[in-house]
Structure formats: C-alpha cells, structure tokens
Amino acid sequence: MAHLSEEEIEDIKKNHPQKRILRFTFLICGKFIILVGIALLFTGFDFGIKFENINISFVINLLFIVIGMIIV
C-alpha cells in the first residue's frame, strides 16, 4: 500500500471549483423551488387536477416543497 504525504492528503481534501459551483447552483435552484411551492401553497393556486373528484393541487404544492428540499 502506498503512503501519502501530508501535502497529497491536503490536496485530496480540497474542494474542486467546479463542484463548488455545482453545489451553489443546486442550492439556489432548490431554494427557488421551495419558495415557489410555498407561494403556491399560501395563494391556493389550483392546478385543476382532480383524482376521483378530489382536487389534489394541495398535494402537488407539497411535492414542490419536498422536491426543492431534496435538491438542496
């Protein structure tokens, strides 16, 4: 097994700049989706989707929030 020097270990621990940008992008997109879900939930937006005569717009609004949390 090869032994790594302290410099090589510190180099491995560093975050790659592209990963940092990707993480920031996911954070911003996720927060935006959460805010859209909350706005739709509080305004009572109706998607017009019914399942056995039950309006499921509330569930869709909650799914927006959950998907945003998953992305974050």
Domain spans of the chain?
30-72
**Of 15-24, 37-46, 63-72, where does the model show the most confidence?**
63-72
**SS3 of 13, please?**
helix
pLDDT at 17 over 70: yes
Place of tokens 């992008």: 25
pLDDT tens by residue, 24-60: 999 999 999 999 999 998 998 888 878 888 888 888 8
